[in-house]
Chain A
């Protein structure tokens, strides 16, 4: 059975700090790893990573995938209170079903 494990489960930081969120995966016939941000109800898409070692960046957020060690990290620099959310990581297989297997998420709280 496919599995995605995120750590830490929760994290509290001060504005301006840099954080690193971790995601390890065991996905048969792995194709991609995805990151989502869930602030209240609807998760919103952040990144899709398919190739190892290529960093994806969007503003203060960046992410990279290591397909040899089966993990990904999400970095957030100069955190702001608006970054407070649950960050979800998900893996998806090649071919067939497009179902995403999610981890439990990391709850990030950024205090002013």
Chain B
């Protein structure tokens, strides 16, 4: 497709379970970002990839969160031992070369931890 694609759009899980959220960026976009957004808040930075490597993972809240982008395209955000506080919309965005800051966001994955 033409836009950033995120799956699943909704995920309900139980506390303590493992979840994976997938992001397929726009073709040709080298930069990929993960953000987390809670109700009434702006997006909160989690991690940024330039190509295959995590250029900045300073926003990951703790070691239960991990993200990969093995081939420089699709990325997976992995959350272990989920907690109720992890409930949020997880937004992925990509950015074309030379246009840093101009992010193209996906529709997000809404995670609910019961």
- A residues near B (Cβ < 8 Å) are 4, 31-32, 34, 36, 41-45, 48, 88, 90, 92, 96-105
Contact = CB atoms under 8 A, between A and B. Distances in A.
A35 B105 CA distance: 13
Interface of B: 4, 31, 33, 35, 40-45, 48, 50, 55-56, 58-59, 89, 91, 95, 100-108
Interface of A is mostly: strand
B57 to A, nearest CB: 10
Given A45-B102, A97-B55, A102 B48 contact: no
A100 B45 contact: yes
A23 to B, nearest CB: 11
23 contacts: A4-B42, A31-B101, A32-B101, A42-B91, A43-B91, A43-B103, A48-B102, A92-B101, A98-B31, A98-B48, A98-B56, A98-B95, A99-B33, A99-B56, A99-B58, A99-B59, A100-B45, A100-B101, A102-B43, A102-B45, A103-B42, A104-B40, A105-B41
